[in-house]
Structure 1
Amino acid sequence: MDYLVVGSGLFGSVFAHEARKRGKTVKIIEKRDHRGGNVYCDNIENINVHKYGAHIFHTNDKIIWDYVNQFVEFNRFTNSPIALSKNKLYNLPFNMNTFNQLWGVVKPEEAKKIIEQQSAAFRESEPENLEEQAISLVGKDIFECLIKEYTEKQWGRECKDLPAFIIKRLPVRYTFDNNYFKDKFQGIPVGGYNRLIDALLEGIDVELNVDYFSNKEYYDSRADKVLYTGPIDRFFNYCFGKLDYRSLRFENEIIDTDNFQGNAVVNYIDKEFDFTRIIEHKHFEFGEQEKTVITREYPKEYEEGDEYYYPVNDNKNNRLFSKYKNIPIDPGKYIFGGRLAEYKYYDMHQVIASALKLVSDEFS
């Protein structure tokens, strides 16, 4: 065949689709028992349950928006998460609704003045850690109420021990706007993400439950080129050591009610809750089913057998990744792409854009 694609996530699926359109023979092998990578949905109680956490498509790029909409219609879902802190609800992202809930202010000038006063001392010098960085951006009240405990749960470390770059910027809006994303286009595929993946992979041979490394030499011999979308350190047999990741654990619960929390996503800030948020999946598609399915999301350190989620892009891991990236390898045989092969956090639209750039480079 022309291309063997290792991994059926968005990156591999988009590339495979475009290669087949150009008359290339393509096969995908997938380690999991389903296609679609982390955008895969389970159907539970007739609800599309995001198996690997909430996935909300958003982009400012009309080309990318038009690209995905050719395969499946998207609904008008707007991500407006809620945060529960000390038994009180706050709107996210930080906006005039949040500031009113915190301080009772009603005018943008009042909120700006409070934030400027609370952050002034930390803006005079370069922040040395995440805590100083966050306070310099949004002030002490917001940090302590809505950031500190949530972040420490998420990363498993004190904010003072986390590097400042993790929070390069925080969305602060002096308008009454609860839309988390500022992107022009946003939504969820009508019928779930599986419809998008199925459309991309129509007519393509996909073999599930296959570990590429169980017989790498054989699989490599079957194709002129191999597109590898898995962990880059695994490809090179961890010769320089393993890259660090944070992972997640999910607990699903079917509840005999038509509406559990009234919102798709509610963040649980306080450390008394081991989980960081509860997702109620039916709200992604405005469901009216008699029952509901919720998912509690627990962050954890990556352990062997876990799914990879967030690369720990600190100086140590970035140096390690650079070593792997610079290992000489035949570019006429192997191609690397996607969040794991590039050790980079991607939103969905960025994954698709990266895959389409590869298509352009490969078939120009």
Structure 2
Amino acid sequence: MQNIDNKQYDYLIVGSGLFGATFAHEMTKAGKKCLVIDKRDHSGGNIHCKKIEDINVHWYGAHIFHTNDKTLWDYVNQFAEFNRYTNSPIANYKQTFYNLPFNMNTFYKLWGSKTPSEAKAEIARQIEHLNLDEPQNLEEQALKLVGTDIYEKLIKHYTEKQWGKKATELPAFIIKRLPIRFTFDNNYFNDKYQGIPIGGYNKIIDCMLKNSDVKLDTDFFEDRAFWSSQAKKIVFTGKIDNYFDFKFGELEYRSLRYELEVHDTENFQGNAVMNFTDAETPYTRVYEHKHFEFGTQPKTVITREYPITDTKNAEPYYPINDERNMSVLKQYQQLAELESNVIFGGRLAEYRYYDMHQVIASALKKTKSELETE
């Protein structure tokens, strides 16, 4: 067995997404030697961008950085300058458009409500005959928040497409993070800081990884013993159940499939993000990528997003945090605690739906803890 003191690297980092890249940056800054491997042919995980028609295309769906934490905002701005992009998606219900998040513009379009009190009164009228004091599922929680009209047109079918389940079968907490405003404000996020890195997310990842050795097209599990022998510790950002050979069964995810199109027009839909909330449209969203960076290119690139259940051949995106999966996760977490030379981090290793700033915060916390315990 190779002597740990003679190993070439301090850390083998499996996965070059935001968690792995942040960890690598902090550790190389502290004088550690890192090897980053990734099974894909590019770094950056799901925030990877590809340049098509001189447009930065978000290859794995839209990624909009937003946070209330000035420390995190300053942290990412050291790697790239961010623009002033504000996320203001449009809901398309059978070719009638509504502003998102639900706000006074939405209420006026639906009911002609001109004041917050009128909108609140209409929601109360719509649900007064329902017993919604303690919502038991997503449908009941949504009805309590926004009434029957908005639920039927803008939530029910979109959500059921996204999750592949009836809204009555989904837990109430999923919808609780949905913004609802009684102001004329189309800004989807409440966070103080928001934007897209000018030139795309690749600039950030490239800066983070510049002092690490990086090997792409490299699957950790194809030669696990070899790669494990290369470093004193492993940082694992893949699926936690995969690391333990699915000993307790597979954790479930919803996934997405993307269809990209180039259009010989300057402007396809007039907005970066459009949600399709009817049941008949098979996709949930259409992204027009140039609008993320206020592009003026002569052509445009769009992506249609389709939810799928097959995560064996597709990237797992949304953990299904129901009772069964959380019970299985707990068993894997108990095994992970016994792995003294392995650090598990990121959305797959932690089986959590993370926004980008949360992934970075998690990585920074773990690097700090790691350096303090040396």
Q: What TM-score do you get using the length of structure 1 for normalisation?
A: 0.98
Once the two structures are superposed, the pairs formed by residues 182-201 of structure 1 within 5 Å of their partners are: 182-201=190-209
Once the two structures are TM-superposed, the CA of residue 311 in structure 1 deviates from its matched residue by 0.3
Please name the residue that 1:93 is paired with: 101
**Whole-Å separation in 2 of the counterparts to 1:175 and 1:167:** 20
Please name the residue that 1:218 is paired with: 226
Please name the residue that 2:67 is paired with: 59
* Pair 1:32-2:40 in alignment: yes
Contact 1:85 1:269 in 2 (8 A): yes
Once the two structures are TM-superposed, the CA of residue 315 in structure 1 deviates from its matched residue by 0.7
Please name the residue that 1:269 is paired with: 277
Once the two structures are TM-superposed, the CA of residue 271 in structure 1 deviates from its matched residue by 1.5
**Whole-Å separation in 2 of the counterparts to 1:104 and 1:96:** 9
Please name the residue that 2:211 is paired with: 203
TM-superposition CA deviations, 1:88-119 (whole Å, max 9, x none): 10000000000000001111110011112223
Could you say if the C-alpha distance between residues 328 and 172 of structure 1 is closer, same or farther in structure 2, counting changes exceeding 3 Å? closer
**Whole-Å separation in 2 of the counterparts to 1:218 and 1:247:** 31
1:295 to 297, 303, 311: 303
Once the two structures are TM-superposed, the CA of residue 299 in structure 1 deviates from its matched residue by 0.4
Instruction: Give the gaps of 5 or more residues in structure 2.
Output: 1-8
Moved more, 230-239 or 114-123: 114-123
Please name the residue that 1:335 is paired with: 343
Task: Name the aligned partner's letter for residue 47 of structure 1.
Answer: I
**Whole-Å separation in 1 of the counterparts to 2:68 and 2:33:** 33
Contact 1:41 1:194 in 2 (8 A): yes
**Whole-Å separation in 2 of the counterparts to 1:209 and 1:62:** 36
Once the two structures are TM-superposed, the CA of residue 132 in structure 1 deviates from its matched residue by 1.0
TM-superposition CA deviations, 1:126-157 (whole Å, max 9, x none): 22221111101111111011101111111112
Task: Name the aligned partner's letter for residue 150 of structure 2.
Answer: I
Please name the residue that 1:143 is paired with: 151
Contact 2:179 2:189 in 1 (8 A): no
**Whole-Å separation in 2 of the counterparts to 1:239 and 1:3:** 26
Q: Secondary structure at the match of 1:133?
A: helix
Q: Secondary structure at the match of 1:250?
A: strand
Q: Secondary structure at the match of 1:351?
A: helix
TM-superposition CA deviations, 1:45-70 (whole Å, max 9, x none): 01000000000000000000000001
**Whole-Å separation in 2 of the counterparts to 1:169 and 1:330:** 34
Task: Name the aligned partner's letter for residue 144 of structure 2.
Answer: S
**Whole-Å separation in 1 of the counterparts to 2:105 and 2:44:** 37
Moved more, 14-23 or 155-164: 155-164
Q: Which runs of 4+ in 1 moved over 6 A?
A: none
Task: Name the aligned partner's letter for residue 16 of structure 1.
Answer: A
Contact 1:120 1:136 in 2 (8 A): no
TM-superposition CA deviations, 1:214-268 (whole Å, max 9, x none): 1111111111000000000000000000000000000000000000000000111
TM-superposition CA deviations, 1:25-58 (whole Å, max 9, x none): 1000101000000000011001000000000000
Task: Name the aligned partner's letter for residue 74 of structure 2.
Answer: D
Once the two structures are superposed, the pairs formed by residues 120-159 of structure 1 within 5 Å of their partners are: 120-122=128-130, 124-159=132-167
- Identity percentage over the alignment? 61
Please name the residue that 2:334 is paired with: 326
Please name the residue that 1:161 is paired with: 169
Task: Name the aligned partner's letter for residue 35 of structure 1.
Answer: S
How many positions carry a matched residue from both structures? 364
Q: Secondary structure at the match of 2:254?
A: strand
CA RMSD, aligned part only? Answer: 1.1
**Whole-Å separation in 2 of the counterparts to 1:56 and 1:244:** 25
Q: Secondary structure at the match of 1:252?
A: strand
**Whole-Å separation in 1 of the counterparts to 2:129 and 2:244:** 47
Contact 2:236 2:343 in 1 (8 A): yes
**Whole-Å separation in 2 of the counterparts to 1:61 and 1:40:** 23
Task: Name the aligned partner's letter for residue 357 of structure 1.
Answer: K
Task: Name the aligned partner's letter for residue 250 of structure 1.
Answer: Y
Q: Secondary structure at the match of 2:180?
A: coil
Q: Secondary structure at the match of 1:259?
A: coil
Task: Name the aligned partner's letter for residue 143 of structure 1.
Answer: Y
Once the two structures are superposed, the pairs formed by residues 347-358 of structure 1 within 5 Å of their partners are: 347-358=355-366
Task: Name the aligned partner's letter for residue 270 of structure 1.
Answer: D
